Amino acid sequence: MRYDDPTLRELLSGQYALGALQGRARARFERLLRSDAALRRLVYDWQAQFSPLAATTPAVVPPARVFAAIERRLEGTKTAPNLWERLGFWRTFSAASAAAVAVLAVTIGLLTLRPAGAPPGYVAVLEDGNRNPVLVVRAYAKPWRMVAEPLALPSPPPGKVLHVWAIEKGNGAVHGLVDIRSDKPELLALNEEYWKAIKSADRLIVTIEDAGTEPKAPTGPALFSGICINLKGV
């Protein structure tokens, strides 16, 4: 396996940060970490990107058997647990945010659409009325662009499109962003106005609008919604 391949290094680092890398593959990766400072930096960057999720949702207390099982799995670990392995960190998540983490784990497998350069500055996991994740949105700067990764989006009726909106913090002002497809991930260019709308957003929503038009405001209810998380913390 070519551990010098940039895409592979990103993939393994993201999986390790999420705790999805297990068994011998994890042991090999940890051996590499001891001698590869650049790889350690990749892992740190992934942890820094995902850790804001811990502060966005209320605490929940799972059954005691869950933590007993986790503690049994962690017994005998020789290396110090990282952020994603600490039980206190996982105890801060609600069931909804745990689903969001699972969705973000899926996005690691879609690195073909991860733009080169800086990591994303903002991420939103949009859910339906039953709290089922249906869309992951990541926004990048330098240059401004957005990756939309549908998970379970329904197809709009003929002559209609799915449109993403940013809801501004504080005043609830609505800013239209882009139309998205329901069948596959896509990389979308943003201008400065749209980037500023995402930076000031409390959440993102999706509505159904007429195709071929640029709506000024939603014409129907929000079908999906998700908190817009600042991964940079600034």
Domain architecture of the chain: domains with CATH: 6-55+58-92 (no CATH), 113-230 (2.60.40)
Instruction: Give, to the nearest 10 degrees, the angle between helix 37-50 and helix 23-35.
Output: 120
Q: Quick check: 164 and 204 in contact, CB under 8 A? A: yes
Mean predicted confidence (pLDDT) in 116-139: 83
Which ranges in 19-116 belong to alpha helices (H)? 23-35, 37-50, 64-74, 87-91, 95-108
Q: How confident is the model over 121-147, as a mean pLDDT?
A: 87
58 CB contacts (<8 Å, ≥6 apart)? Answer: 94
Residues 167, 132: contact at Cβ < 8 Å? no
Arithmetic mean of pLDDT, 52-71: 62
**pTM assigned to the model:** 0.59
Indicate the burial class of 186 (C-beta count within 10 angstroms; 0-12, 13-18, 19 or more): middle
pLDDT for the residue 78: 46
- The one-letter code for the residue type at 43 is V
Could you tell me which of 123, 98, 152 has the C-alpha nearest to residue 226? Answer: 123
pLDDT tens-place string over residues 196-215: 999 999 999 999 999 988 88
Residue closest to 113 by CA, chosen among 232, 10, 227: 10
Q: What are the tens digits of pLDDT across the range 160-188?
A: 999 999 999 989 999 999 999 888 888 89
pLDDT of residue 90: 41
Asked if residue 91 has pLDDT above 70, the reply is no
Indicate if the pLDDT at residue 95 is higher than 80: no
> Two tokens at 26?
């994890």
